[in-house]
Amino acid sequence: MKKYTEQMQQTLLSLLAVNSVQGEPADGAPFGKGTREALDKFLSLAASFGFKTKVVDGMVGWAEIGEGELLGIPFHLDTVPFGEDWSRSPLGEVENGVIYGRGAEDDKGPAVAVLYAIKSLLDEGKLPRRRIRLIAGLNEESGWKCIERYLQTEEVPALSFSPDADFPVIFSEKGVLHVCVSLKKPEEVISFTAGERVNMVADRAVLEVKTLSDAAFSKCLKGGVKVKFIEGGFRLTAEGVSAHGSTPEKGENAVLKILYAVKSSSEFLADLYDYFHQTDGKGLGIDLKDEVSGDLTLNLGRVRTDGDRLLFSLDVRYPAATNEETLLEKLQAVFGADAAITVEGRHLPLYVSPESELVTSLLAAYNEVTGENASPIAIGGATYARAFPNAVAFGPVFPGEESRIHQKDECITVDGLLKCAEIYRAALLKLAF
């Protein structure tokens, strides 16, 4: 794949240059003009390599080549919001062999690696024994309406892998439950706002309160929470470190920084801290686990004020052996009958046998290229794999690698991009050529 390095880098930079955060609907672009522009760029390049392409209602597109049974490779070209305090451009920049930009790892970089892996095999005159269909979604970060639309009218692959998580290969994914908890706003709270997406650790929070105890004021100053006097009270502002909602322990939640500082000011705020500060859900009595997929994770991603209510958006990643009803019952019991609990999104758990052709082929490809003797893994992330039958996630993050997905300065090294492409090429040789 080395001879394609420069082409891959330039293609990725051209995709990163497109702001494909979901935006206002436009003609032919229900998820915003940026998402459609990214899709058109990708499909145009694929068509120049000999792929047949199709756009489905501006929501999702695909590029296909070959004959026979269908192998699907779903990925997404939309991204989460940029966030603040980048040291490089979120719209693409290269420095010292590192490609920076929102989507570099999640998921534009892997999409480019897969496309060029296929091109390298085609350039050698190899003919696919399975049809290969690259399925490009535009709403993965905000609801999966793109894949829902695809499944309504388009052919469902017999087997699939999604380059949108971790290596070596993921045979099980936790269930995902996005829940909004609506609580009555107490008199002492004026407003509370934090976070951008439920599946991101909140990196900024603002709480306005009418009173502030001396102890809380002192804790704010010591804990890096800014305090400003406002008419009728105090405005508290905190900054944290964002991370993916499936790994909240890797971030620093700005909401929790504020709640920790003001615990002594009110019983309500102290309760909120106790509920949410443990990322295994213990504060809510939902600290569940199983042998296959591990511990439950909890992320408080957003806080909003709506009239006399406070809205808390939670991202819960639960073990495959757990069910949604159990979680909702436990949450209702904790927050009480006056709390309104609404499910805003869900993904059921995924499990594919480690002995299947799909998992064994992908794992063999990974081990051959890396020289490792790795085993398949389970994760908390939600990938397109769970939308399709007989599907798993495969890369691009390597074991032990520090990932900046959903964080500032998201990036992928040029060498890492090349290594991904080599692994995807080896996998495609086993599954499709």
Cβ–Cβ under 8 Å, residues 422 and 370: no
> SS3 of 184, please?
strand
What is the token pair recorded at 169? Answer: 């290969």
Would residue 78 show up in a list of annotated catalytic residues for this protein? yes
Q: Which residues pair with residue 159 across a beta bridge?
A: 71
pLDDT band of residue 379 (cuts 50, 70, 90) is: confident
The pairing of beta strand 411-413 with beta strand 233-239: unpaired
Alpha-carbon dihedral 41, 22, 173, 64, rounded to 10 degrees? -20
Instruction: Select from 332, 207, 193, 225 the least CA-distant residue to 266.
Output: 207
Instruction: Select from 383, 399, 402, 401 the least CA-distant residue to 391.
Output: 383
Cβ–Cβ under 8 Å, residues 135 and 151: no
Secondary-structure breakdown of the chain: helix, strand, coil percentages, each rounded to the nearest 5: 35, 30, 35
Cis peptide bond N-terminal to 396, omega within 30: yes
Residue 84: DSSP 8-state:
S
What are φ and ψ of residue 237, in 5° steps?
A: -125, 130
Q: What is the percent of the chain where pLDDT is above 90? A: 89
Beta-carbon contacts of residue 372 (< 8 Å; ≥ 6 apart): 168, 366
pLDDT tens, position by position, 183-219: 999 999 999 999 988 999 999 999 999 999 999 999 9
Q: What one-character-per-residue DSSP string does 187-214 give? A: TTEEEEEE-S-TTB---EEEEEES---H
Query: Taking residues 231-241, what's their average pLDDT?
Result: 96
What are φ and ψ of residue 294, in 5° steps?
A: 85, -150
Would residue 271 show up in a list of annotated catalytic residues for this protein? no
Tell me the longest C-alpha to C-alpha distance in the chain: 75
Q: How many other CB atoms sit within 10 Å of the CB of residue 345? A: 17
> What was the pLDDT predicted at 390?
95
Q: Which CATH architecture best describes the domain 175-347?
A: 2-Layer Sandwich (3.30)
> What was the pLDDT predicted at 312?
98
The residue type found at 144 is: W
Rounded to whole angstroms, the Cα distance separating 378 from 63 reads 29
pLDDT tens, position by position, 8-31: 999 999 999 999 999 999 999 999
**In this model, does residue 383 exceed pLDDT 80?**
yes
pLDDT tens, position by position, 52-110: 999 999 999 999 999 999 999 999 999 999 998 999 999 999 999 999 999 999 999 99
Same fold: 2-173+350-431 with 175-347: no
Q: Which of 78, 93, 105, 166 is catalytic?
A: 78
The pairing of beta strand 170-173 with beta strand 233-239: unpaired
pLDDT band of residue 357 (cuts 50, 70, 90) is: very high
Rounded to whole angstroms, the Cα distance separating 40 from 58 reads 10
Ranges of each domain in the chain: 2-173+350-431, 175-347
Superfamily of domain 2-173+350-431: Zn peptidases (3.40.630.10)
pLDDT band of residue 322 (cuts 50, 70, 90) is: confident
Query: Taking residues 347-352, what's their average pLDDT?
Result: 88
User: pTM for this one?
Assistant: 0.76
pLDDT tens, position by position, 110-127: 999 999 999 999 999 999
Residue 262: DSSP 8-state:
T
**In this model, does residue 381 exceed pLDDT 80?**
no
Q: Which of 105, 140, 141, 422 is catalytic?
A: 140
Cα–Cα distances (Å) from 323 to 285, 329, 336, 419, in that order, read 15, 11, 20, 38
What is the token pair recorded at 92? Answer: 């693409």
